Chains A and B, each alone.
Chain A
């Protein structure tokens, strides 16, 4: 274990901004991609269902 306390962990030896921005951005990008794909899938299914009813 590298950390004396939770605040030491969040502080990242003074590099908190750089470290958490990096990991946060990565997580956000992945979350955004998954949500965007879910929307795209719902929309694609909705459109093909409309077309199938014609």
Chain B
């Protein structure tokens, strides 16, 4: 198979491709979420220690994973944009940031909602919780920094630098539970050991994580199309496209 990837590296050619891909990822997300929720609430047994409160992990753990995965992907796109001076890469980074921030917020709030009945407190300043809070500030900082610079190319470069410096926080979050003595429990899934939880619980978590992943791709594709329309407003391809919208009602 010989695909000319550079063909899709311009916003003009990526815009229709992103539009075609979005419904597929949206459907995948819906189906995976339906299966994940069914397992989370119907199949997965009650935890013998935590009762039903443990079911919060079916959104908490996938959201926390996504908050870290999205940051790494975002920083990767930002780095690529910086190295190749490619505007599509920078747009992809920009499109991922709000979704990453939302998953970080979900991870923090659902963690708090689990912590109150299980630990007896909404919040502790332990390494895992603090580094995840810093991740939220990194996302918000990236969004605010890009929004505050009028020249989009300069905004891309400044945002990319912030994103790359912030990458150091991701391994700190991930390994915080082994490096420090935290109140937060260890990793839910360990690559080198057998899972400590029931296999249905694990399956539910994985399905929810995949659903969140597909959701992320779908919304990032929708957002990157918005960013293209906004940033390339004065180019011929956007003008032609918006003229077509009037005729067909969609684009």
Question: Which A residues fall within an 8 A CB radius of B?
Answer: 1-2, 9, 12-15, 18-19, 21-23, 25-26, 29-30, 33-34, 37, 40-41, 44-45, 47-49, 51-52
Number of interface residues of B (CB under 8 A): 43
B245 beta carbon closer than 8 Å to chain A: yes
* Interchain CB contact under 8 A, A23 and B59: yes
Contacts A12-B53, A19-B53, A19-B56 known; A52 to B226 CB distance under 8 Å? Answer: no
Total A-B pairs in contact (CB under 8 Å)? 96
CB distance from A14 to the nearest CB of B (A): 7
A-side contacts of B120, CB under 8 Å: none
Specify the chain A residue showing the minimal Cβ separation from B109.
A25
A-side contacts of B45, CB under 8 Å: 2
* A-B contact list, 23 entries, CB within 8 Å: A2-B42, A2-B44, A12-B53, A13-B53, A15-B52, A15-B53, A18-B114, A18-B117, A19-B53, A21-B113, A22-B59, A25-B106, A26-B110, A29-B102, A33-B219, A40-B226, A44-B229, A45-B229, A48-B233, A49-B242, A49-B243, A52-B238, A52-B240
B87 beta carbon closer than 8 Å to chain A: no
Contacts A29-B102, A48-B233 known; A18 to B56 CB distance under 8 Å? Answer: yes
* Interchain CB contact under 8 A, B245 and A49: yes
